[in-house]
A = this chain, B = another copy of it.
Amino acid sequence: MNHPKQSCFLGVLGGMGPMAGAAFALRLAALTPASVDQQHIPTLLLNDPRIPDRSTARLAGGEDPLPHMLERVRFLNDAGSQLIAIPCNTAHLWYEQIAEAAQCPVLHIIEAVAEDLRRQGIPKGRIGLMGTPATLALGLYQQTLERHGYECIVPTHDEVQSLCAASIAAVKGNRLEDAYAPAAECITRLKARGADAVVLGCTELPLAVPHALRPSLGVPLTDSIDALALAAIAYYERVRSAQRQAA
Q: Is A1 in contact with B173, judged by CB distance below 8 angstroms?
A: no
Name the contact of A49 in the complex, choosing from B33, B37, B48, B79 (C-beta under 8 A): B37
- Inter-chain contacts of A1 with B (CB < 8 A): 1, 78
Q: Is B75 in contact with A3, judged by CB distance below 8 angstroms?
A: yes
Copies of the polypeptide in the assembly:
2
What mask results when residues 45 to 86 of chain A are scored 1 for a CB within 8 Å of chain B, else 0?
A: 111111101000000000000001001100100110000000
A243 at the interface (CB under 8 A from B): no
Q: Among A19-27, A113-121, A182-190, which stretch is in contact with chain B?
A: A19-27
Name the contact of A25 in the complex, choosing from B32, B45, B51 (C-beta under 8 A): B45
Q: Is B17 in contact with A21, judged by CB distance below 8 angstroms?
A: no
Q: Is B37 in contact with A42, judged by CB distance below 8 angstroms?
A: no
Q: Is A29 in contact with B38, judged by CB distance below 8 angstroms?
A: no
Q: List 28 A-B contacts (CB under 8 A).
A: A1-B78, A5-B68, A5-B71, A6-B46, A8-B46, A15-B42, A15-B43, A16-B37, A17-B29, A18-B25, A18-B40, A19-B26, A19-B30, A23-B26, A25-B25, A29-B47, A29-B174, A36-B53, A36-B172, A37-B49, A37-B51, A37-B172, A41-B49, A42-B48, A42-B50, A43-B48, A45-B47, A75-B79
